[in-house]
Structure 1
Amino acid sequence: GMDRSLRVALLTNRTTAADRRKILEDMATGNLDIVIGTHSLISEGIEFKSLGVVVIDEQHRFGVEQRAALRDKGAGDAMPDVLVMTATPIPRTAAMTVYGDLDVSVLDELPPGRTPIVTRWAQNDMDEVQVWQQVRDEIADGRQVYVVCPLIEESEKLEVRSAQETFEELTSGELSGLRVGLLHGRLKSDEKDAVMTQFRAGELDALVSTTVIEVGVDVPNATVMVILDATRFGIAQLHQLRGRVGRGAAKSFCWLVGEAKTPDGEARLEALVRSTDGFELAEVDLDLRGEGTIMGERQKGQNDLKLASLRRDREWVVTAREIAIEILDADPELVKHELLAEEVDLFLKADDIDFLMKS
């Protein structure tokens, strides 16, 4: 049992140099129990006296190399226990190849007290009339609404301009007389915070925004998400955006607005209307886009499968992983599996070997 209270420190890029030195020193001497921080916690030159447990939030931004670096921080030969979490559903087969070194648990039910979101696709002007009618009805009932402007990957400047134009059109048209806020990437962070604070406090009826609201925004009173020109977004992004509503007990709606433009676009939007299950959507995404892109920012080289296909060979991936684990449990250095060891050597360059030994 512990008679003293836990010693906890926070290390971010806002920490002053003096505080930072003190925290690093305390980590190295074991004067801290828990340190919370960004990726910088595992950078070169940071010492832990005896690292026992590591919890990583939003794993997909955190590559295999970083996981290996963490495991090196253990005391002596002790491996710290590592728990990684992500809210981004990825296909099971992708999880097994990319996170083959981890045991994966899936939480696939809604948190208690949430209601499933109804998703509709407004393909033409007639449908769109319905969208704004519902938006006004919900606001009249005291609820709030998000309107997400088209994603313009090529240019932030164009994206901001499109958001401003959308804002002007809506405030003089469909949403006139209502309290509407505007959020986009060119606002300073305190301006963004001010708008979000107003929205959270219920001082705004609607928020017109670029995709800056994808993650971490939690306003249970918001019940409608309208995504304009939805075909420009990928499945994962649409699913993330949709997840900004339906966070309270009230029934929530997501409208995908605009025509599909391509067969793929149509398949994406239909999938979202059909399913609110992120894992099912991740599988659809894999089928539509192929495996190279499934990890978002591709983890270079680590998931370039030469012959295997995550789609075609789902059951083989499972079997291969089970066999690999059995072999390594029995023969970690591959002493009894010379041919296999040679193949692995050929397949991986020396630096990759180091890297695999770590994981």
Structure 2
Amino acid sequence: MKKIGVLTSGGDAPGMNAAIRAVVRKAIYHEIEVFGIKNGFQGLMDGNINKMGIGSVGDIIQRGGTILYSARSEEFKTDAGQKKGIEQLKKHEIEGLIIIGGDGSFRGAQKLTEKGYPCIGVPGTIDNDIAGTDFTIGFDTALNTIIEAIDKIRDTATSHERTYVIEVMGRDAGDLALWSGLADGAESILIPEKKDDFNDVIDRLKRGHERGKKHSIIIVAEGVGSGFEYGQRIQDATELETRVTVLGYIQRGGSPTASDRVLASRLGAKAVDLLLGGKAGKMVGIQHNKLVDHDFMEILSEKHVINNEMYVLSKELSI
């Protein structure tokens, strides 16, 4: 290969820039030209493609978001849209593509690979909901953002003797809720993977109140339901003064942690190695701190599984 492309797709995640930097510099080290494709698959179809150099990724490793921008595209899900993208790749003589994103991005990458265009995926999503990797780029940063927010909310909860419900991201996966809840000693953690009995949440609150506990923290993943609805139900059932905080998109932003910067650098560089080694249709990941790769079809046919031991432990520690 003499020329490769890189794009980011789906929701942004802290560390994507570090991954872009690794792809560009690793490729240039091997005397490969790199082209950045802006605005995801939509930008690919539109031909928003520019050559990148060492300087174009300077001073970005510490920045959140993605310098290549991101956009969702319904058109690219169609055969016509994919062919339009391939035409642009051929026009720029790009021989392989590295796609940084989540499972939706990998579905697009799989389609391009099936049409003869080699693609490698790099998992970048704060939800940590991709099979085949222990961690995704952005998860650790988002987790630490949540923990910092909970710490501050707990100060207020303690001062005013209130119950706080905190809604975090996680439409289909509860990792952010589980990890932040365990790290911050939440009384209850509600996640999509577990169908908790609401009465158990109420019982825990009542038991704590009876033994003199003055405040409580309840973590709710957005995929379970509205934090405001849970807050009202809790207050109605317990008569405890309850407040709700929805953290929202603050979880996506911010400078990536050291962990995410290192992970992104390792995965981005590995993706280049796979392309140059003639691999295609694969996602790079990390398992037991070792770099691995899996076929897209394998990844897309499996579901990320929550750490059940951690979930059980969270309940044991919040008696």
TM-score normalized with structure 1 length: 0.27
Larger radius of gyration: 1
